[in-house]
A and B are shown apart, each in its own frame.
Chain A
Amino acid sequence: MTEQTAQSEPQPPQSATGGGAHDLPKDAAHRLEELEHGLFTSDLSVNEFLLVKEAGFHPLGFVMGSSIYHIGIQTRKWGESQELAKLTEAMYTARELAMNRMEEEAEELGADGVVGVRLDVNYYEWGNDSAEFIAFGTAVKAEDGTSYRNALGKPFTSDLSGQDFWTLMQTGHVPQALVMGTCVFHIAHRKLTQALGSMGQNVELPNFTQALYEARELAMTRMQDEAGRLNASGIVGVRLEEKSHQWGSHTIEFLALGTAVTKTSGEVTLPKPTTIISLDN
């Protein structure tokens, strides 16, 4: 079992256009300008809209970022379990590009942060080996003028819903950024003799167990490292997703996502909850 320790630190994203501050399309610029004149858009539900207002924020606009990334071929050994580092890097970079563009849009609007971020991956028939990575969310700004930007001076991002955002603020914490760690792992195919040997038995498959365990750990560690770089107190709402995308069943991407938060000096204002028994089905 090889372990790619050298690749445990993903490289900073390199966009083909040279990256950096202003690679948003023209249409985005028009749209954001319109939003700055007072119209707000949001994909928050009415419940979430009302709770975001309760938390003292106002929605500014629906923001998004997208990137179509070609995911190259990476050769792998059929009988070995290993991380496919090139693919890991690609999946991470593509999402970073999309998220960065979304943050740029939020910055254009002068937002304090983005809530309800969703990351999606789309496949199109005409794009072999490529996928579109999209990040959506609603940019918000504090109504009392306090800045809620994160430790790096950028608008915070979080995949918390409006309800969770309100609840989090009541506990005296603020979101910093959506942090993610990813690992694309190839699981060794078992040799025929091994497979025949254990046919019909209830037995743990040590290869699989070890491989999948490692992969998940890698993903989660990378996610925690990102949070560490922001000097966050912790991560909430952690989600671990597994996808095979278009690679077949022996290659899986493990994606760990969460929102890094820090404690503010405010006290906990969450009122004591009433317990109820809901009689709805």
Chain B
Amino acid sequence: MSIDGATTPDVRAEMLKGAQSLATPAPPSNARGITSDLSVDEALLLHAAGWEPLDLVCGVAVVSVPVGVWNWGRGAISLASDAHDAAVDQAARQLRGECSKVHGHGVVGVRVEVAVRTHHIDVELVGTAVRPMDGKDPRGADAAQAMPFVSDLSARDFTLLQRAGWIPVGLAFGASFVYAPRRTAGAAMKQTTQNVELTNYTQAMYSARESAMEKMQRSALQVGGQGVVEVKVTEGPMSFARHAVGFTAWGTAVRLMADAHQFVRPEVVLPLDDAVVTFEAESLRGGGGGRRR
């Protein structure tokens, strides 16, 4: 999406004006300069939607994992999930605290970094605190005071959703960790030449995934969400304990604030760039895949 319509009449004139503004030393200012990690496009879109960025905010938490948790056992590793949830909760709380300090109504564009190590789980959240320029929060006056929303939606997606009548209410997060089940030696031998489903394994992995998703759903309900968008799922064995597998699912919980969903009615365009041609060839060879964002 490019910035709409007519380019400002004369960019040269603007540049000249800008340069001249620097030539005269600025009057001393008591303004608390804002810091933001938004790109210019995003800042402009936010303004078009009637919101403004306030400050770059962070939340970090390090939670210890009890000893021996990763030694091979059976079933779910609930202590690890608890540690993970505690870390995310605490980091989100810090983030909201920083947001409130600058009088923000919420944080957008949150970058989520989770590191699971042998003895501790670290969570870092970084985003930009924003507030509506006219002070009117679509969630209602009380909600705005109580709890700033946290969302990993980019400022651009935030603006789009707003226009459609939806607002983010919080980060929905869930994680589960599980041990790979063991096969007895006898069963292992018998299965060598057969193509067969390993039901123990399937059940264990499938359950663990579903459990992470379920926790994510529950956390969405807790912040009053009606839905979760942009769910991302990560999975994989722990680098320090390859018999333990972790699944996380997170996304942004949203709520419909308008009476009904506002349809966007997109316009269809056909770009004439040559870049289009290479995209098609690649998708046939399996390079582009079916998803396009």
Contact = CB atoms under 8 A, between A and B. Distances in A.
Contacts of A67: 197, 202
Interface string B215-227: 0111011000111
A276 B269 contact: yes
A127 B214 contact: no
Nearest to B72: A126
Contact of A125 (B205, B242, B263, B286): B242
Nearest to B76: A27
Contacts, number: 211
> Size class of B's contact patch?
35 or more
A53 B261 contact: yes
A45 B242 contact: no
Nearest to A124: B237
B153 A86 contact: no
B285 interface: yes
Contact of B290 (A40, A44, A94, A159): A159
Contacts of B235: 122
A277 B273 contact: yes
A161 B292 contact: yes
B284 A43 contact: no
User: Chain A's interface: helix, strand, loop or mixed, by majority?
Assistant: mixed
Nearest to A275: B270
Contacts of B233: 43, 136
Interface string A91-110: 00110010001000000000
Contacts of B180: 124, 126-127
B169 to A, nearest CB: 12
23 contacts: A17-B197, A25-B210, A27-B211, A30-B214, A34-B218, A40-B226, A42-B228, A43-B232, A49-B229, A54-B265, A62-B213, A65-B206, A66-B206, A69-B196, A70-B191, A72-B193, A89-B195, A130-B198, A240-B284, A274-B270, A275-B271, A278-B271, A278-B273
Interface of A: 15-17, 24-28, 30-31, 34-35, 38-51, 53-54, 59, 62, 64-73, 86-87, 89-90, 93-94, 97, 101, 116-118, 122, 124-127, 129-130, 132, 136, 159-161, 163-164, 237-242, 257, 270-280
